[in-house]
Every structure is written in structure tokens, then in C-alpha cells.
Structure 1
Amino acid sequence: MKRILNVVEYNKASLWIRLANNFIDLIILYIINYLFSSISNFLYQVTSIEFFYFYSNGNIFWQLFIGNFNYCLYYFLMENYTDGRSISKYITGTKVISTDGTKPTAKQIFYRSLSRLVPFDGLSFFGNNGWHDSWSQTRVVNIKNYESEIQAKREIEAIGAKEFV
């Protein structure tokens, strides 16, 4: 079990920032899904391959599967390959870190992405931490506040240390 640093807990993003992140990312996901559906319709008309038809015109179960797959893939790729940030996190100045203050592993990001599929995950934020944060041992922090507090702690620890010239 990882340690939970106080500096991480003190600099968690607020509930309103998290809500804004969710809203912005959902809009982006709707745009991505619309583009994929339009491309699939075009490819079906050109090639008559059934997969492209089902991508945008399949039954409700197929649409749920594709929607959830795209949802997980978006969050995994964005948070894993852009240093813990999705598009909304760039806009709001937040990022995902491990509870011990390190960069989250791919495994943590994968668990975090899958945990978002649990029904009512969004309501879990009315508690202390959301489920996808707790289960993956990650937190979303305000970058400026977090990094300035880390820098201040380093400067305090450096007081009295010998400097070599």
C-alpha cells in the first residue's frame, strides 16, 4: 500500500474543478464519438463492410460497448501519455498524481480509467475521494499550489545545508 502524503491531500482540486473537468472531457468525448460515427457511416457507404455500419447504427448494447471503450481509451491515453493530464486538466491547471507524490504508473491509470465505468462513480465525489481516485491510489491536484508547496519544502530542507562553491 502506498503512503499518502499530506502535501498531496492539501492540494487536491476542488469538487467544482473536478466537475468542470468531467463536463469538458464529456464534451470532447461527444465530439470524438460524433467524428468516429461520421467516418464510420462514410466508410460503410464506400466499402459496405458491416463493422462500420454497426459502429454508428448498432443496437443499444453495441453503442454502450463502443461508447465505454472510447471513454476508457480516451482517459487512459490522455492521462498516461500526457503526464497525468487530459484536455480539461490542461484548461483547469490540474493533473493526476499518485498519493505518494510520484507520477502514476500505467497500471494506476488503467485502473483509474476502468473504475470510471462503475455506475454512480461521479456521485462518489460527495464523499472524501471519488472511487476512481481511491481504487487507483491517485489524486487530482492543483499544479501551481502543489508545486509551490513542494518547492517551499525543498527550500526549508536546504536551510543549513553546506553549499559548495
Structure 2
Amino acid sequence: MRKYLAAVDRHKATSGNRFLNYFLDRLFIQAINYAFFFIFGIGYSIIYGEEFYAENEDQSFTFTIISLFIYLALSFSYFFFMEYYLGKTIAKYITGTEVISIDGNKPTVQQIITRTFSRAVPFDTLSFLGYNGWHDSWSDTRVINGKNYVAEKQLKEEISSIGTKEMT
């Protein structure tokens, strides 16, 4: 069981920020998806010398399924790599929020994987309107206001260092 840090909950992102993060991240993922298929279409045209299109229903269904898997892979990759390596997605940069573990540390790979796969649960997107979103609760992570959290953490460190001798 992870140690729970109360300061993390004091600086949780608002529901409005969470909704804005969701909306903007979906826009960015959609833009990445369109860019991927645009590049795919250009590559296909260069290699085969013709447009890519699905004529019959079997090809159309197959293309739809492949497109869905590509979208899911891009979405998973976006959230995993951005949140694990940077602690935030592009939307979180815009809103000034970030993902941390409930103990105040950087989330582990397992936490980010759990968080990312939890987004696939139906109605997870609405769960953040409650106290904690499901992908936060299940992964022991929180989305916080980064500046306020860092300011409180620095203040506590400064207070705890009062009375200690400085090295010269």
C-alpha cells in the first residue's frame, strides 16, 4: 500500500480543468490520427500510383477495424509516453496540471499503464466529475495543479530547514 500524501489532494485539479484536459487531449489525438492517415495516404499513392479507397463492403469493414486499432494504439501511446516521461500531456501543459502518484512521487510504469488502460472502461470519462476519476483511483495517481503543489512543497522544505546550519 502506498503512503498517502494529503498535500496531493489539496492541490487536485478542478473538474473544469479535467474536462478541458479531456477535450483538448481528444483533439490532439484526433489530429495525430489524421496526420498518420494523411501520411499513409501519400505513401500509398507514391508506392502504388493510385488513391487508397475501399470499394466493396469487406474492404471497407476491414479498413474500419484497422483504423480503430490504429486509433487505439495512437491514443494509448500518446497517454503512456506523455504521462510517463513528462508527467503531463499537451493539454495538461496548457492547463498547468500534471499527473503524480498519491505519495507525491513520479508515477511508476505500472501506475501509468493501469491509468491508460482504465481510460478504455465505458463512462470513465464521466467519472472525473466525482471526487476522483476511476483511472485516478485505480492507478493511485492524481492530476494536480502543478504550480500550487510545488509552491507548498518548497514552503514546507524551507520551514523544515529553519534552524539548521548552512554549510559554507
Deviations 1:123-154 (A, max 9, x none): 11122111111111111111111011111111
Give the match for residue 80 of structure 1.
Answer: 84
- How far has the Cα of 1:6 moved from its partner? 0.5
Counterparts of residues 63-102 of structure 1 (less than 5 Å): 63-82=67-86, 84-102=87-105
Percent identity, please: 49
Give distance in 1, aligned partners of 2:39 and 2:8. Answer: 42
- How far has the Cα of 1:63 moved from its partner? 2.5
**Runs of 4+ with deviation above 6 angstroms:** none
Residues 57/27 of structure 1: CA separation in 2 closer, same or farther (3 Å cut) = farther
Counterparts of residues 143-162 of structure 1 (less than 5 Å): 143-162=146-165
* Equivalent pair of 1:68/1:117 in contact (CA under 8 Å): no
- How far has the Cα of 1:53 moved from its partner? 7.1
Give distance in 2, aligned partners of 1:117 and 1:69. Answer: 12
SS at 1:73 equivalent: helix
Question: Mind listing any 5+ residue stretches in structure 1 that lack a counterpart?
Answer: none
Q: In structure 2, what residue type is equivalent to 1:78?
A: M
- How far has the Cα of 1:115 moved from its partner? 1.1
SS at 1:126 equivalent: coil
Give the match for residue 41 of structure 1.
Answer: 41
Q: In structure 1, what residue type is equivalent to 2:79?
A: Y
For normalisation by structure 1, the TM-score amounts to 0.88
- How far has the Cα of 1:2 moved from its partner? 0.8
SS at 2:94 equivalent: helix
Residues 19/133 of structure 1: CA separation in 2 closer, same or farther (3 Å cut) = same
Deviates more, 1:92-101 or 1:118-127: 118-127
Give the match for residue 22 of structure 2.
Answer: 22
